[in-house]
Amino acid sequence: MSDNNLYSPCIIDLIVKNLIFTGGPISSVLVDIMDVIEGQTFDIKDPKDTFFFVTAMDICRNHLQDIDLAHRVNKLLHTGNNYDLIGDSFKESIY
């Protein structure tokens, strides 16, 4: 993870808890996160880090139905070594 970014493993917990499991209202949390982390590169610091991209893409597709945000997430995945955060082949196939 770059020293200057604000991403922490607990972000994935926030996204999952507040958006997916509650089926809560449409939220711009992922947009706000992308505004902060877009263009940065990350290293795996916690096993939960490998859930970020799969979860973010699921939110783009099923919760927000926002193709532009999905393209932003995909571009971030392909920035630097971020593809390492896709996790195992199962997560990759879901993504």
- pLDDT tens across 55-70, in order? 999 999 988 899 999 9
Token pair of 5, please? 């970014």
Rounded to whole angstroms, how far apart are CA atoms 65 and 51?
19
pLDDT in tens, 18-46: 555 555 667 788 999 999 999 999 998 88
Query: Whole-angstrom Cα distance, residue 73 to residue 95?
Result: 11
Cα(53)–Cα(92) distance, integer angstroms: 9
Domain boundaries defined on the chain: 27-94
Local confidence band at 2 (pLDDT 50, 70, 90 cut-offs): very low
* pTM (2 d.p.): 0.75
Please give the structure tokens belonging to residue 53.
């991209």
Q: What is the rounded CA–CA span in Å between residue 60 and residue 92? A: 16
What does the pLDDT read at residue 91? 87
The whole-angstrom separation of Cα 15 and Cα 37 is: 15
